[in-house]
Amino acid sequence: MKELLKKEEKKVEYLELIYDLIFVYIIGRNNSLLHNTVDGVVQPTMLLAYVLCTLAVIQIWNFSTYYINIYGKNGLREHIFLFSNMFLLYFVAEGTREHWESYHTQYHAAWGLILLNIALQYFIELRNHKGEPEHTAGIKRIMTVLIIEAVLVFAVIPVYNATNIDFSGIPILFGICSAFISVKDIGGVIDFPHLTERAMLYIVFTFGEMVIAIAGYFDGELTFSSIYFALMAFLIVVGLFLSYGTVYDKIIDRERKDNGLLYMFLHIFMIFGLNNITNSLEFMREEEMQLIPKITMLIVSFLIYYVFLFATRRYSKVECRPKLSFYLKMVGVAASFVVLMFVFRENMYVNIALTAVYVFVVYAVIYRAGKVNSDIPKKTDEST
């Protein structure tokens, strides 16, 4: 009887995967902003544009994902709305470039329309759930946030045209802060397993962009240098992916009851960290880049990724809950990595090898934690 009453897990539809493809394209466009350098250093304006564009796009993805998770039925109306947003995202991607100020109006107009598009879908659901206060209260909450953020985005356009000052960070910060009060478990309908799978797929697509980026290491020259750097870069990507895969597959309790808000928030910064790692790996082979900024960006990128990956362990299965020794070990390994990277900062051969070793040391610790979980059912089965 319990099995019959158990809610069926929501599956990721093919439409969601198609929708995510446009975000793969935008990831590449965002990363290209950091390749506008002056005297071997990323321009501050480009760095700020990169941060804002990355957060804005991930936020759009989050809003879309929550709607599909709660009310998505893979119907015709949903197809129309999602494909409309995909089309608008092309205008966002087109405005993500070095001379972004020339595309400022286009970028923000498309961004605001996407938010209104999602808000309209919630408005339709509001009409479909009359007399259900547990739904209508949550819908109004999310819809209000989307509309206010859209208004803020549209307001940025005339202010920028009049003052040449960009206030794009305001709607982004509003959206991030409001998420903590707008998204709640509406009537118990949020499907946490579906959210974890959607977040995992976005991470996979981000790794896909990383694989494309490191293709530059495979320059076709069969020299020791080219083969060595290509191998190290490839191993780094593999180690990062295996670490996330083990956490997702072996450690995270995907069956728990949760609104997934913090889980998705942590993934925003994991994706941000991975995007930075992609750029850092590309910078490692560019001799014109200044050494200290290049090494610093690489180190900070890895630390961001791992800090937020470890933070997801609050969602761990009981038997995989992290102990204090785990965090102490990770801090010690990270500190050693940072020190050695600066000590050997002038030797890129050693530098990239140290990065690969660091990634696989972390993976080994995570793998051991995941193995503990896989061994428990076996012991239980033997005892029965």
Residue-wise pLDDT tens digits, 285-325: 777 778 888 899 999 999 999 999 999 888 888 777 777 77
Instruction: Tell whether the torsion through CA atoms of 293, 295, 299 and 301 is positive or negative.
Output: positive
Maximum separation of any 2 CA atoms in the chain, in Å? 74
Question: What local confidence, expressed as pLDDT, does residue 308 receive?
Answer: 94
With a cut of 50, which residues of the chain have pLDDT below it? 1-6, 378-384
Question: What local confidence, expressed as pLDDT, does residue 379 receive?
Answer: 42
Question: Is residue 40 exposed (0-12), middle (13-18) or buried (19+ Cβ within 10 Å)?
Answer: middle
Architecture per CATH, domain 191-384, reads as: Up-down Bundle (1.20)
Alpha helices in 188-253 (DSSP H): 192-213, 224-246
Domain with CATH 1.20.1410 in the chain: 191-384
Nearest one of 10, 8, 99, 14 to 49, comparing CA atoms: 99
Q: Give me 286's structure tokens.
A: 């560019």
Q: Give me 118's structure tokens.
A: 């999602």
Rounded-to-integer distance, Cα 46 and Cα 144, Å: 32
Nearest one of 201, 151, 221 to 12, comparing CA atoms: 201
Question: What local confidence, expressed as pLDDT, does residue 378 receive?
Answer: 45
Residue-wise pLDDT tens digits, 314-361: 888 877 777 777 888 889 999 999 999 999 988 888 999 999 999 999
Distances (CA, A) of 89 to 53, 112, 209, 268, 271: 12, 11, 18, 18, 18
Residue 252's SS3 state is strand
Half-sphere exposure of 11 (CA within 13 A, CB side): 4
Residues 6+ apart with CB under 8 A from 378: none
